[in-house]
Amino acid sequence: MKATLFDYGAGNLFSLVRALEVVGVAPTIEADPLACAKTNDLLVLPGVGAFGHAAARLAPARVALARQLAEGRPCLGICVGMQLLFEASEEGEGAGLGVIPGAVTRLRTPRCPHIGWSKVGEEDFYFAHSFACRPVDSSVVRASTTFDDERFASIVRWRRTVGVQFHPEKSSKAGLALLGTLVREVTS
């Protein structure tokens, strides 16, 4: 299966590429946002970098990509890539795609960032984030996770777009299994 992985130029894409390959996806890394909007395959927004930096890189194609997602282009957003599906973030300037109404706000937990393995359903997945998505419409929330005294959306689903706050590509066997499931769900 083909996919386009948007490169914001800020981090490790290598692990995600390898994890996608393991679950049968062959991603093309694309640093030009306009080129990302020229195909209609699975769009992957990776979980690296800060919101402001990523939003700035995405900006030229923001409207085009949001329209594609509304029309049913499959999309997987991981960590900051999930946050980019929302309207804006306290982390930095700029706009996300805004396909899911809501904002991204800082965790108010005693320990922040939230770094480590936390439960999503029955299994533990690896999280590394200081901000979390607050969807206006709770029907998009597929799973929530509790860290310290806060509960936040850890999986959201809207049309053929799925966003995960954790890193499936860094969550060992459970992560790879879920990555495969999510990719099949949004592309089938």
Partner 1 sequence: MTTKRVVVCLDVKGGRVVKGVKFEGLRDVGDPVELAVKAEAEGADEVVFLDISATVEERATLLEVARATASQLFIPLTIGGGLSSVDDVTRALRAGADKVSLNSSIVSRPELLGELSARVGAQCVVASIDARRVGDQWKVFTRGGRTETPLEAVSWAQRCVALGAGEVLLTSIDRDGARTGYDLELTRAVADAVSVPVIASGGAGQASHLVDAFVQGHADAALVAGILHDGVTTVAALKRGLRDAGLDVRGVR
Residues designated catalytic: 79, 167, 169
* Token pair belonging to 43: 């769009």
The answer to whether the CB of 172 falls within 8 A of the CB of 185 is no
Q: Which of 3, 4, 6, 19 binds partner 1 (CB under 8 A)?
A: 19
Distance CA 55, CA 14 (A): 21
The CA–CA distances, whole Å, from 158 to 10, 21, 38, 185 equal 26, 24, 21, 12
Shortest distance, CB of residue 45 to partner 1, whole angstroms? 14
Q: Which of 2, 38, 67, 111 binds partner 1 (CB under 8 A)?
A: 111
Q: How far, rounded to the nearest angstrom, does the alpha carbon of residue 122 sit from its chain's CA centroid?
A: 21
Considering beta carbons, is residue 33 or 140 the nearer one to partner 1? 33
The residues, any chain, with a CB within 8 Å of residue 35's CB and separated by 6 or more, are: none
Rounded to a whole number of angstroms, the CA Rg of the chain reads 15
**Counting contacts by CB under 8 A, is residue 82 touching partner 1?**
no
Distance CA 88, CA 140 (A): 17
Shortest distance, CB of residue 72 to partner 1, whole angstroms? 30
**Counting contacts by CB under 8 A, is residue 118 touching partner 1?**
yes
**Counting contacts by CB under 8 A, is residue 52 touching partner 1?**
yes
* Token pair belonging to 158: 């809207």
Shortest distance, CB of residue 71 to partner 1, whole angstroms? 31
Q: Which of 87, 119, 121, 185 binds partner 1 (CB under 8 A)?
A: 119
- The verdict on whether omega for the bond into residue 110 sits within 30 degrees of 0, i.e. cis, is no
**Counting contacts by CB under 8 A, is residue 30 touching partner 1?**
no
Q: Which of 86, 175, 182, 183 binds partner 1 (CB under 8 A)?
A: 175
Binding stretches for partner 1 (CB under 8 A): 10-15, 18-19, 48-50, 52-53, 80, 91, 110-119, 124, 126-130, 146-147, 167, 169-173, 175-176
